[in-house]
């Protein structure tokens, strides 16, 4: 019975430590509350709890032999208390490599830790003096994507369990770093940036969706250079946000979200227009995707270099249909394959 009692005591002490660290982290996150932040981010909070648990275990605070009856004092290191007592020889010391199963596993970490989505941030690209790309008929990307984003917002708001926000609701210029700040301050759980493409050398209609990552494709790098222009990030800022590249959960989920959106956009668009091409999902170094703390994608939902598509984009029904396809892709991703959402085209 003694081992059982000791085990219960150890478990209660661990709980006390984790609760304290978790609550402190929540206070830190909540310091810069933003008016848009209506609900706490379940995604962010559970990641903080996981990080706290990992640090405690890795630093050797997870065994009964080195936990004092005062958990708070255990973390206040003084000159006389800078060495962590060695664990009993019968116990295995954990190393960072012990967490490889989490980082390299096939099961998405969001599912392992039960992370959910409450707030979705929609980002209409460009705006104001930055019109984005333009078609030969004078159609501006900034206007089309804003309209599509508003339609998508209204469609997602019908699902009452989601809070849906936008980085801009009018024809105004919003720097990329400001878009990132809005998403992070609102504690968004998903970030979807909407854009239109333009291929001067190939006047075809095509669809592609990006998530953050390195790329060796010259065309992709050129596009990233164009989209990153005017980000207003300095070199010191970029050094700080570049550290987020290794976030496994964000990378896993961004890829899955991109896959789901790309599939719904292409399959449904192809039913109406057999001349649309599937350029698939790709990695690209877009700073707006890097800076956001949560799963983020940039969808090129149409192509203004194709004259027929430019004509279609100037009809409300076509923009509404693109919003439908985006909605279906997001909802399919959120259901994790448990449900399938159909996007019936409006005639």
pLDDT digits (tens, 9 = 90+) for 229-246: 766 666 556 555 555 544
Residue 154: pLDDT band with limits 50, 70, 90:
very high
Work out the percent of the chain whose per-residue pLDDT is above 70: 58
Pairing type for strands 296-303 and 190-197 reads parallel
**Per-residue pLDDT for 310 more than 80?**
yes
Using the structure block, give the residue that is written with the tokens 């003694």: 2
**Per-residue pLDDT for 39 more than 50?**
no
Residue 251: pLDDT band with limits 50, 70, 90:
confident
Q: Are 183 and 297 a contacting pair, CB within 8 Å? A: no
Query: Six-digit token pair at 213?
Result: 């990552």
Residue 18: pLDDT band with limits 50, 70, 90:
low
Describe the strand order of the beta sheet including 205-212 as a list of residue ranges.
163-166, 119-124, 190-197, 296-303, 205-212, 276-284
**Per-residue pLDDT for 153 more than 80?**
yes
For residue 318, CA distances in Å to 121, 264, 314, 315 come to 22, 15, 8, 6
236-243's contacts with Cβ under 8 Å and 24+ in sequence apart are 237/177, 238/287, 241/287, 241/290, 241/291, 242/290
Domain ranges of the chain: 2-82, 116-335
Q: Which helix (H) or strand (E) holds 20?
A: helix 2-29
* 287 CB-side CA count, 13 A: 23
According to DSSP, the residues that pair with 338 across neighbouring strands are none
Coil, helix or strand at residue 180: helix
Q: How does pLDDT run across 165-206, given as a tens digit for each residue?
A: 999 999 999 999 999 999 999 999 999 999 999 998 888 999
Query: Six-digit token pair at 169?
Result: 């609701």
CA dist., res. 144 & res. 141, Å (int): 5
pLDDT, position 101: 47
The fold of the 116-335 domain, in CATH, is: Aminopeptidase (3.40.630)
7-16's contacts with Cβ under 8 Å and 24+ in sequence apart are 7/64, 9/64, 10/63, 10/64, 10/67, 13/64, 13/67, 13/69, 13/71, 14/56, 14/62, 14/67, 16/71
Nearest to 295 by CA among 334, 332, 338: 334
Burial degree of 150 (CB within 10 A; 0-12, 13-18, 19+): middle
Q: What is the mean pLDDT of the chain?
A: 75
CA dist., res. 64 & res. 2, Å (int): 13
Residue 109: pLDDT band with limits 50, 70, 90:
low
**Per-residue pLDDT for 115 more than 80?**
no
């Amino acid at each position: 019975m003694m081992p059982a009692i000791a085990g219960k005591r150890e478990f209660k002490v661990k709980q006390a430590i984790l609760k304290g660290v978790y609550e402190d982290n929540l206070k830190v996150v909540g310091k810069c509350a933003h008016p848009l932040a209506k609900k706490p981010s379940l995604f962010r909070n559970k990641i903080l709890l996981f990080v706290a648990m990992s640090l405690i275990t890795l630093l050797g605070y997870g065994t009964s032999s080195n936990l004092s009856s005062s958990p708070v004092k255990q973390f206040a290191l003084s000159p006389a208390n800078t060495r962590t007592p060695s664990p009993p020889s019968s116990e295995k010391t954990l190393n960072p490599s012990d967490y490889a199963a989490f980082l390299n596993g096939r099961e998405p970490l969001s599912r392992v830790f039960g992370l959910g989505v409450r707030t979705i941030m929609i980002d209409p690209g460009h705006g104001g003096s930055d019109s984005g790309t333009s078609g030969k008929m004078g159609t501006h990307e900034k206007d089309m994507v804003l309209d599509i984003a508003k339609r998508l917002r209204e469609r997602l708001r019908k699902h009452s369990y989601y809070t849906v926000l936008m980085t801009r609701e009018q024809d105004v210029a919003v720097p990329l770093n400001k878009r990132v700040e809005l998403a992070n301050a609102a504690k968004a759980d998903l970030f979807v940036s909407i854009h239109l493409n333009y291929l001067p050398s190939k006047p075809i209609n095509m669809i592609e969706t990006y998530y953050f990552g390195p790329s060796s494709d010259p065309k992709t790098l050129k596009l990233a250079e164009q989209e990153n222009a005017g980000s207003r990030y300095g070199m010191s800022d970029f050094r700080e946000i570049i550290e987020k590249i290794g976030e496994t959960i964000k990378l896993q989920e961004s890829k899955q979200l991109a896959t789901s959106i790309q599939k719904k956009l292409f399959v449904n668009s192809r039913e109406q227009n057999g001349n649309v091409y599937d350029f698939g999902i790709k990695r690209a170094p877009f700073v707006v995707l890097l800076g956001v703390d949560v799963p983020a994608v940039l969808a090129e939902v149409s192509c203004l270099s194709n004259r027929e598509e430019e004509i279609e984009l100037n009809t409300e029904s076509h923009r509404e249909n693109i919003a439908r396809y985006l909605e279906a892709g997001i909802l399919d991703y959120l259901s994790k394959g448990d449900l399938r959402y159909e996007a019936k085209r409006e005639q």
